[in-house]
Amino acid sequence: MPIVMVKICRLNTLFLGLLFFTLDVVPIFGSVQNRQLTNTLNAVKKALRFIEGSLSHLNLDGVIGIRMVDDQLQVLLARRLIKPDYSSNIRLIWNKLINLQKRAQHIADSAINYVRMSQPEYFQKIGRLLRRGQWALDYPTRSIRPNLKESPLSSLTVKLTETESDECLQEILGSKGPYPKPCDISQRCWNLMTSRGYDSYALTHEVFYLEIGEMCGCKDKMALLARRFSQGNFSHLLDFFCSNVLRDAEKIEDNGFPLRWRDLLMEQVALCGVAGFRDFYRPEWVNLILSWQHPNGCYGYLLKQNEVNDTVVASGKTTKREEQHMGGSCLAHMTSVALGALVVNARFLLEDLMILN
């Protein structure tokens, strides 16, 4: 994308003292990136506000996106991109990021108490995914490798389910068996969670698995397993999976972003965006994700009863999505992945803004 020099209009710094929830992010005019960053931060704020008022309706999967906002904004703020000679507008945005991070951290911490009580067994198994710092991945901005794309295997006999995925996450987290220890990865789980040929949610769960492994200190163990099974190295696996996640995302785009697959698209943007792949930031996708947000801040649509715990079938493989109503047409998982997608888009938009300034 060509670099466009823009003149940022100065705004009165009086607004810096106003409370977080009494002021939307101050608009900045002059470029698509500026407007989209403003709108994206407003959308994060609205979603957090909705969730804070609906904590009793949240499930564990719904908290992951909140923690992702918390941790990814901390990573972004730690880069100290703002310099003293930047305009007051840029410094104002930086203060908004600080406020969003603090608010997300507070809401995630509060939500943990609710899911610990409402889903005690599930929380015991994978509740560590909600700890502070679990999503503090800091990958450099990069591009996917088109030569790694391949067609999904319709003849694949192994099926990846939500239950199996969670069991394999327990091995990483150290919450499985009578004498659990972290990074105790079985050959069965490794083969299941790094198989080629998946698509849809099964494929994004493979990205999720690698990212959780890295944050739990299992990257060296995973690198050994990758070499043992002739899969290259850890970085190659992540490159390979996200290259094919992009293949799936572009297929959703080609089909006009059907309502049923918007949740998946935002999960794809969130997980591979966290890994630094800029290909998942596209201005038209940002605008669409912003347009899908309801006025109250949530994301979702009215599900039929048999869709609440939906089984998505794709290329002969099944994986179960855990979804939960949060009132009206608001859905916990969809709002969670939307938050993840929004925060990684904010990262790429802010990087563009720093280049422009």
Residue with tokens 């949530």: 298
Q: What is the mean pLDDT of the chain?
A: 85
Least confident span in 153-167, 311-325, 335-349: 311-325
State the pLDDT confidence band at 353, using cuts at 50, 70 and 90. confident
State the pLDDT confidence band at 328, using cuts at 50, 70 and 90. confident
pLDDT at 5 over 50: no
Neighbours of 230 (CB within 10 A): 6
- More confident site: 163 or 248: 248
Can you give the pLDDT at residue 30?
43
User: SS3 sequence, the chain?
Assistant: CCCCCCCCCCCCHHHHHCCHHHCCCCCCCCCHHHHHHHHHHHHHHHHHHHHHCCHHHCCHHHHHHHHHHHHHHHHHHHCCCCCCCCCHHHHHHHHHHHHHHHHHHHHHHHHHHHHHHHCHHHHHHHHHHHCCCCCCCCCCCECCCHHHCCCCCCCCCCCCCHHHHHHHHHHHHCCCCCCCCCCCCCHHHHHHHCCCCCCHHHHHHHHHHHHHHHHCCCHHHHHHHHHHCCCCCHHHHHHHHHHHHHHHHHHHHHCCCCHHHHHHHHHHHHHHHHCCEHHHCCHHHHHHHHHCCCCCCCCCCCCCHHHCCCEEEECCEEEECCCCECCCCCEHHHHHHHHHHHHHHHHHHHHHHHHHC
pLDDT at 217 over 80: yes
State the pLDDT confidence band at 85, using cuts at 50, 70 and 90. low
State the pLDDT confidence band at 314, using cuts at 50, 70 and 90. very low
- Distance, CA of 321 to CA of 303 (rounded, Å): 13
Neighbours of 298 (CB within 10 A): 23
Which residues are bridge partners to 331 per DSSP?
325
State the pLDDT confidence band at 32, using cuts at 50, 70 and 90. confident
Mean pLDDT of the region 57-81: 93
Can you give the pLDDT at residue 86?
67
The answer to whether residues 240 and 104 touch, using CB atoms and an 8 Å cutoff, is no
Can you give the pLDDT at residue 107?
97
State the pLDDT confidence band at 341, using cuts at 50, 70 and 90. very high
Reading the block at residue 102, the tokens are 């603090």
Mean pLDDT of the region 217-227: 96
Can you give the pLDDT at residue 175?
81
Mean pLDDT of the region 204-218: 96
Reading the block at residue 196, the tokens are 């080629």
- Distance, CA of 23 to CA of 21 (rounded, Å): 6
The residue type of 286 is V
- Distance, CA of 115 to CA of 59 (rounded, Å): 6
The pLDDT > 90 percentage for the chain reads: 68
Angle between the 32-52 and 332-356 helix axes, to the nearest 10 degrees?
Answer: 150
CB proximity list for 295: less than 8 A, separation 6 or greater: none
Mean pLDDT of the region 222-242: 96
Domain ranges of the chain: 13-356
| Terminal CA-CA length for the chain | 16
Mean pLDDT of the region 291-319: 66
Mean pLDDT of the region 220-236: 95
Residue 123 — φ and ψ, nearest 5°?
-65, -40
Pick from 137, 41, 21: nearest CA to 94: 41
pLDDT at 312 over 60: no
State the pLDDT confidence band at 303, using cuts at 50, 70 and 90. low
